[in-house]
Amino acid sequence: MQLTNRIHFRNLKGDIFGGLTAAVIALPMALAFGVASGAGAAAGLWGAVLVGFFAAL
């Protein structure tokens, strides 16, 4: 079985822009969720990092 999921460099600019846009939205939201839950901003940030890691898998 051959994988057809390859990186196309012609899409690189859009991929980087999309990733930065998602990060700009996710960072303050993760901090706010951590503070609102009472666990602290660092816990919200770590939660976002772990969710992002598992989503990338």
Asked if the structure places residue 4 within a domain, the reply is no
Asked if the structure places residue 47 within a domain, the reply is yes
pLDDT at 9: 82
Asked if the structure places residue 41 within a domain, the reply is yes
pLDDT at 4: 66
7-57 pLDDT per residue, tens = 778 888 998 999 999 999 999 999 999 999 999 999 999 999 999 899 888
pLDDT at 56: 82
Q: Look at the chain and report how many structural domains it folds into.
A: 1
- The angle that helices 12-37 and 41-56 make with each other, rounded to 10 degrees, is 140
Which domain, by its residues, includes 21? 11-56
CA dihedral 37, 21, 53, 55 (to 10 degrees): 90
Q: How far is it, in rounded angstroms, from Cα 11 to Cα 17?
A: 10
pLDDT at 2: 61
Task: Report yes or no: 26 and 51 within 8 Å, Cβ to Cβ.
Answer: no
- Token code pair at residue 17: 């822009």
